[in-house]
A and B are shown apart, each in its own frame.
Chain A
């Protein structure tokens, strides 16, 4: 049986003036996969991701995300995905409960659904003592876990995570990845960017962007074999160096 494609990208290109940020990239992501989207600063990751989540119109090429065309059905794309920004983007001066209620409302959940979600998240993240505290007062690690859960409130098929673990302590970083694994196991597709190369090893498949193009795409194991190195860090260094 063929694996179900949840993201399908063909020759996707984005130009800003005479600068081409994304140069005709093509790839597929399958349902329930953890897909690592790596690249150096300025390689075009963020631009590519913005096109996939429907907030930037491609100059040319095609992309289908969760069954919708990013050109013509950008609003449907937005409804079908979750997105967690690298910059914490919940309201610091609202409580945890108020934030969940707010984002639940934005995603079109009913009052009853929101109530159920709050109860579920409080239980899963053990927020019993802090649910009425301002989000701004939470440690970074909790904020990240909460952001992730909020990005999943409307049970999207795909969740996009943009450097979700930057600056987080090593234990929380791993707890975060366990949440990712659990979610992928339930069938949610995870599309994640990171600068931690050990995290690249946790992905099912990894793509590496260099200078606007995808220079490598495979499982971490195959990439290491292909480049004859022991770690994803070395794969990354090798790829980026070869270009220079």
Chain B
């Protein structure tokens, strides 16, 4: 087991940041903490990387206790914080060299591990980190977190504010690192990234709501969701919300996801209702359930 967390709680003054959190991450697993801002994700990262003490509970990382063996943990993990934390006025190469030296290694020694990522920023190796674009900063930060060949990699919201193309590329890099045997704990507010993890914990307001593989979470969802579409989306949301027995109405891309309270719900009745409300081009069909649907219903 690479990470073991048992009944961890942490409060700041009176605010409970995380409450009684328990989960395990297996060796070589890509595990996601999925939840919005303020859910407690960063607090968990800081506790596991020995930067913060929990009020209650215990945790081990790479077999070491976070309180008694913090130095061993710091040598065996890589941590990429949510906020860009490299030296802005050092160049790309200087930053990487700095982190390698701190951990008593060299860029050459572990070059294999970072090669795929580093080649993309190597053309800019004499540029100051502060002058890099968002995507390049992110790649440099990942290289710096990897340069001492960590057993466990902690990535706190590595893709927040990053465009869809760079996000996709970043996840391809993560999968490659996983194949090299590195255990990865990653957090994200993007629900679509959840499906790329082996297992995920859905977390909100300091509590874990569910832990499972993305497939199981979706397959175990019991309600039937319908895609509803009509020409006037704004009016459609309004009218669906006023439909008797509506359970939930949420916009999902080009469709509205509609759930009804009744087991014997008949889509044709809804179709007639919308037609009476002067909607045109009405489409009602069963929807493909996503992690985001499950999350919103927890």
Report which A residues bind B (CB closer than 8 A): 39-43, 86, 139-141, 163, 166-172, 174, 177-178, 181-182, 184-185, 195-198, 201-202, 220-221, 231-233, 236-237, 240-241
Contacts and interface: CB of A to CB of B under 8 A. Distances in A.
A168 B135 contact: no
Please indicate which of the listed interface residues A174, A185, A232 has the most CB atoms of chain B within 10 Å of its own CB: A174
Nearest to B135: A41
A201 B253 CA distance: 5
Given A41-B161, A195-B163, 15 more contacts: A40-B164, A41-B135, A41-B162, A41-B166, A140-B36, A140-B38, A167-B157, A167-B189, A174-B250, A184-B234, A195-B162, A196-B190, A233-B164, A236-B163, A237-B164
Contact of A195 (B36, B161, B292): B161
A183 to B, nearest CB: 10
A237 B251 CA distance: 22
B165 A167 contact: no
Q: Is the interface of B mostly helix, strand, loop or mixed?
A: mixed
Interface of A is mostly: helix
Contacts, number: 93
Nearest to B248: A171
B134 interface: yes
Contacts of A140: 36-38
A167 B251 contact: no
Interface of B: 35-39, 133-135, 157, 160-168, 189-192, 204, 233-234, 237, 250-254, 292, 295-296
Contacts of B38: 139-140
In the complex, the 8 A-B pairs of residues with the closest C-beta atoms, listed nearest first:
A169-B36, A198-B253, A40-B163, A201-B253, A167-B37, A181-B234, A240-B165, A41-B134
Contacts of A201: 253-254
* Interface-central residue, A184, A198, A232, by most chain B CB under 10 Å: A198
B296 A170 contact: yes
B234 A231 contact: no
B162 A170 contact: no
A39 B165 CA distance: 10
